């Protein structure tokens, strides 16, 4: 077992073919005064957590990413929002092929505020490195 802890409490564990990653971070954003006044916002703060579980088999990596945002901003009525992404990647040599399904019940808007809403999509991506 290998465990690495980096400056943010980012932890990686590898147990043969099984992998785990975790991250917890608190965020706070102060908006420019004029913008904050016109938007009716004060300082924005929330906590975010990430957990990834993975399994490697040859050139394939199967994984489940889960992320959570916990609003802590005065006046924000959103509850905890979550996103789950099961996926698989394949290393074909000069790059990777990814297939992922994303399901989430909220988002982080451009101000950093946690908001609720449903979103589901399927991603298929091919990367090529020179």
pTM of the model: 0.75
CB 45 within 8 Å of CB 29: yes
Return the percent helix, strand and coil in the chain, to nearest 5. 5, 65, 30
Distance CA 130, CA 60 (A): 21
| pLDDT by residue, tens only, the chain of 130 residues | 333 334 455 667 888 899 999 988 887 777 777 777 776 677 777 888 999 999 999 999 999 999 998 887 777 777 888 999 999 999 999 999 999 999 999 877 776 777 788 999 999 999 988 7
Domain count for the chain: 1
Inter-CA distances, 24 with 6, 68, 79, 109, Å: 12, 9, 18, 19
For residue 112, give its domain range.
2-126
């Amino acid at each position: 077992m290998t465990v690495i802890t980096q400056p943010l409490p980012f932890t990686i564990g590898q147990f043969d073919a099984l992998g785990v990653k975790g991250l917890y971070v608190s965020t706070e954003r102060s908006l420019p005064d004029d913008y904050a006044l016109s938007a009716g916002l004060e300082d924005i703060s929330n906590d975010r957590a990430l957990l990834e579980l993975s399994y490697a088999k040859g050139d394939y990596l199967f994984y489940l990413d889960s992320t959570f945002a916990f609003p802590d901003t005065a006046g924000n009525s959103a509850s905890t929002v979550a996103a789950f992404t099961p996926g698989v990647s394949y290393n074909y040599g000069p790059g990777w092929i990814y297939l992922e399904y994303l399901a989430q019940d909220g988002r982080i808007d451009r101000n950093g505020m946690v908001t609720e809403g449903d979103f589901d999509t399927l991603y298929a991506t091919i990367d090529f490195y020179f």
